[in-house]
Amino acid sequence: MKEHSRAFVQFLRLNRNVSPNTIRAYDTDVTQFLEFAASRDGLKPSQLKPEALDADHVRDFLGELHKRGLSRASAARRLAALRTFSKYLVRQGVLKDDATQLVGTPKREQSLPAHLGHAEIDALMAAPNLETVAGRRDRAILELFYASGLRLSELAAASLEDLNLSGRMIRVMGKGRKERLIPFNAQTASAIKAMLQDHHAETRRTRGRGEKSPLFLNLRGRRLTTRSIDRIVRQHVKTAAITTGISPHALRHTFATHLLQAGADLRSIQELLGHAQLTTTQRYTHLDVGRLMEVYRGAHPRAKLK
């Protein structure tokens, strides 16, 4: 079975629509399942047959994950990995049927990420010290996060060549290598321009031919990592005395929430966020009950009747 899992990972690497993060996650998930199934049957993983990928083994595996306190979302991701693996084995003629289709997907919890109010956003934007090079860079990071709703990985991967300052647009390569153009506002453009005027931007001109120039640099002139950007955001959240646990992902959620509250439709927000499914966007957006009633009374014909 192990040789099939290795071939599966190689197959994913050759598929340009699968991100490296997804490949690593699926590899880990399949390996974890094989170890569980072998242990359940009193075998070594090398002795496991492809037929072990059946509904009973998968259900027991998900049950074990539940006992360990794994969230439903994480369990659903592992099931998605096993389904992809099973479909691959069927296409290769290793298995006759895809038994994972007999296993129901764990229902996700309806938990919502934290988001900021408008006053908190203002406080966060005022947190960086604009008298310093790092402060001007950090302000540009925060502005772009809130103005565009980018994922942390997308913002870290942004390059100068992706940026159109005059048109106030940025080109993003999202999940599944899907490209999208995201607009941003004048405040964000101004913050980015201030950052680019700093002397450390000279290092951008030393890149090799054909090599993209990172948009956000550390003070040594290298591309900021996702970990560094996450730390920067959390540092300024603390400076702004915001008590809610706010991360870069929460800024993305704030972007979507504020657009929805201002009247933007879900389809447009879906395009801006780069979601493949509208249901994913719906989980990012939430309105308070008062706002929902306001929309309902203003839109439903019978709700207007006294």
The residues annotated with a catalytic role in the active site are 151, 175, 249, 252, 275, 284
Mapping DSSP to helix (H, G, I), strand (E, B) and coil, where does residue 11 land?
helix
Taking the C-alpha atoms of residue 262 and residue 252, their distance in angstroms, rounded to an integer, is 16
In DSSP terms, 181 is beta-bridged to: 171
Taking the C-alpha atoms of residue 270 and residue 175, their distance in angstroms, rounded to an integer, is 13
Taking the C-alpha atoms of residue 173 and residue 287, their distance in angstroms, rounded to an integer, is 29
Backbone angles phi, psi at 132, to 5 degrees: -115, 155
Dig out the tokens for 284 from the structure: 């990012």
Residues 6 or more apart in contact with residue 51 via CB below 8 angstroms: 95
Q: Helical H runs in the chain?
A: 2-14, 20-40, 55-67, 72-91, 118-125, 133-148, 152-157, 186-196, 226-239, 248-261, 266-273, 278-284, 289-299
DSSP string, 141-163: HHHHHHHH---HHHHHH-BGGGE
How many of the other CB atoms lie within 10 Å of CB of 222? 11
